[in-house]
Amino acid sequence: MEHYIVKGGNALSGEVEIAGAKNAALAILAASIMTNETVTVENVPDVSDIRALLMAIQLIGAHVERLDRHSFRINGSAINKDKPVDNEYVRKIRGSYYLIGSLLGKYCKASVALPGGCNIGLRPIDQHIKGFKALGAQVKVASPGMVVATAEELTGAHIYMDMVSVGATINVMMAAVKAKGNTIIENAAKEPHVVDLANFLNSMGARIKGAGTDVIRIRGVEYLHGTTYSIIPDQIEAGTFMFAAAATKGDVTIKNVIPKHLESISAKLTEVGCQIRESGDAVRVVANKRLLHTNVKTLPYPGFPTDMQPQITVLLGLCRGISIVTESIFENRFKYVDELTKMGASITVEGNTAIIDGVEQYTGANLTSPDLRAGAALVIAALAAEGCSKIFDIHYIERGYEDFPEKLRHLGAEIEKIDDSYDEHRFRFRAG
């Protein structure tokens, strides 16, 4: 079975380049088929969630041409609007639900399999449906697990989101771009990828204002045209490397980032005693001593991201004193704590709170990734641990991290993806 093997104990040092943002890319690729003209998207991360979405749009008739590892030319003029979006790939990824908004906006008709994604909570889509209905669509959840949305025409509306939802904001924004008249989305999500999608759609001729604030105003347009667009860097990949540097007492410069997007992460690392230096599009993290405890609560942007919650918990598990991590976005996001306990961590979970009594050192163990971000966090724990660890179910990690072991090796980590026992012997021989 494929897994990573890690020999911990090396302080990471050097430079790492961050890829394009997976969550922005999922939204932008889904929106790229809203025009019949050709769209070129650059800085697309080469991860399995993106490959699945590209496969899904090809299966309904979009033409996708790969220009290089990270650039695609996409043309949605030959899409069969009557063909449901449903295959094994679509059902695995969360981002496929963006095809409801894009197809509904373009054709007033969408039939898309219900989203999969990481099992970190219930993840309902009632706010998406509420938004589509406000725009004039009829929405049914039909068997087997399909969302079917249809409309005579879409008309702008004033929509108040009951909670801050990244997915619902993005989905409703896409549909509203081609609705007749004006739409206002209140209590909108402010995440960098919401802004990136709005910028992308505006570069196609959409008229969206206010993305990045909690009120987004959209004036519907009849026509969207082709464009060339480069996706923002991945805030969560960058944050993951920042925490890997801190947990291994390393010195890592994370390049190709937007430091503003990393402020909540940098602030927490500074609080626990790391030195953070920002310069242009890079952030350097230096940790040369045992770090201190702190408390953190996950919140919508610009708060501390829920997608960084497992990584900060791993770090705080090694910090002096008692730390408290409160998860306020998803109800089932501490499943990885049992794995950390196997490594010697002292963490108690009560409801949505983890109480962490920092230990001096983790010890290597056999670990299973429960989801994407928790999987990456377990890799950080293994890098900081004494001895060898194996991490299984790495297909979760590969959904969102491009070349994860290669990038870590470049920073001095001993990590290898193992396909068979020969790979493992080779690793153990090399790592000693």
118 assigned to active site: yes
Q: How far is the CB of 48 from ligand UD1 (least distance, A)?
A: 13
| Cα 315 to the center of its chain, rounded Å | 20
Q: How far is the CB of 5 from ligand UD1 (least distance, A)?
A: 27
> Which residue type is seen at 96?
S
Q: How far is the CB of 13 from ligand UD1 (least distance, A)?
A: 29
Of residues 176 and 413, the one with the C-beta less far from ligand UD1:
176
Q: How far is the CB of 132 from ligand UD1 (least distance, A)?
A: 11
Q: Quick one: which of 268, 279, 260 has its CA closest to 313?
A: 268
Residues 127-146 that bind ligand UD1 (CB under 6 A): 127-128
Phi, psi of 252, rounded to the nearest 5 degrees = -125, 135
> How does strand 275-279 pair with strand 282-286?
antiparallel
Q: Quick one: which of 420, 419, 365 has its CA closest to 388?
A: 365
Sequence-ordered list of residues with C-beta below 8 angstroms from that of 154, at least 6 positions apart, any chain: 104, 105, 108, 135, 136, 137, 175, 176, 178, 179, 180, 220
Q: Counting contacts by CB under 6 A, is residue 237 touching ligand UD1?
A: no
Of residues 125 and 413, the one with the C-beta less far from ligand UD1:
125
> How many CA atoms within 13 Å lie on the side-chain side of 239?
29
Of residues 15 and 162, the one with the C-beta less far from ligand UD1:
162
Find the part of the chain contacting ligand UD1 (CB under 6 A) among 13-21, 71-79, 160-168, 341-349.
Answer: 160-168
Q: Counting contacts by CB under 6 A, is residue 306 touching ligand UD1?
A: yes
The residue number whose beta carbon is nearest to ligand UD1 equals: 167
Of residues 125 and 272, the one with the C-beta less far from ligand UD1:
125
Interface residue with ligand UD1, options 168, 194, 265, 287 (CB under 6 A):
168
Q: Counting contacts by CB under 6 A, is residue 167 touching ligand UD1?
A: yes
CB 154 within 8 A of CB 104: yes
State the Cα–Cα distance between residues 99 and 159, nearest whole angstrom.
20
Of residues 213 and 275, the one with the C-beta less far from ligand UD1:
213
Q: Counting contacts by CB under 6 A, is residue 165 touching ligand UD1?
A: yes
Find the part of the chain contacting ligand UD1 (CB under 6 A) among 33-41, 124-132, 133-141, 195-203.
Answer: 124-132
DSSP-assigned beta bridge partners for residue 282: 255, 279
Strands in 272-418 per DSSP E: 275-279, 282-286, 295-297, 322-326, 347-350, 353-357, 366-368, 388-392, 414-418
Residues 12-41 that bind ligand UD1 (CB under 6 A): 23, 26
Residues of 330-345 as b/e, b for ≥16 C-beta within 10 angstroms? beebbbbbebbebbbb
Task: Say how many Å lie between the first and final Cα of the chain, rounded.
Answer: 23
For the chain, state the CA radius of gyration.
Answer: 22
Query: Which DSSP string corresponds to 310-323?
Result: HHHHHHHTTSBSEE
DSSP-assigned beta bridge partners for residue 332: none
Q: How far is the CB of 133 from ligand UD1 (least distance, A)?
A: 12
Active-site position among 108, 118, 274, 388: 118
> Which residue type is seen at 331?
E
Per rule CB under 6 A, count of chain residues that contact ligand UD1: 22
Interface residue with ligand UD1, options 132, 330, 334, 362 (CB under 6 A):
330
Interface residue with ligand UD1, options 28, 41, 125, 345 (CB under 6 A):
125
Find the part of the chain contacting ligand UD1 (CB under 6 A) among 84-92, 162-170, 261-269, 340-348.
Answer: 162-170
Find the part of the chain contacting ligand UD1 (CB under 6 A) among 159-167, 210-218, 336-344, 385-393.
Answer: 159-167
Q: Counting contacts by CB under 6 A, is residue 121 touching ligand UD1?
A: yes
Interface residue with ligand UD1, options 166, 245, 257, 388 (CB under 6 A):
166
Given the rule CB under 6 A, which residues bind ligand UD1? Answer: 23, 26, 94-95, 121-128, 163, 165-168, 189, 306-307, 329-330
Q: Which residues are catalytic?
A: 118
